[in-house]
Amino acid sequence: MRAAPEIDVPTRLIHDADEDLVPLTQAHALRVAYGGRAELDVTRGLGPREVLGEPAAIDSALEFTASAARRTAL
Res 12 pLDDT > 80:
yes
Q: If pLDDT is split at 50, 70 and 90, which confidence band does 1 have?
A: very low
Q: State the pLDDT at residue 71.
A: 74
Query: Mind giving me the DSSP string for the chain?
Result: ---GGG--S-EEEEEETT-SSS-HHHHHHHHHHHGGGEEEEEE-S-HHHHGGG-HHHHHHHHHHHHHHHHHHH-
Per-residue pLDDT tens over the stretch 13-70? 999 998 888 999 999 999 998 888 899 999 999 877 888 888 988 999 999 889 877 7
For all residues of the chain together, what is the average pLDDT?
A: 85
pTM of the model: 0.78
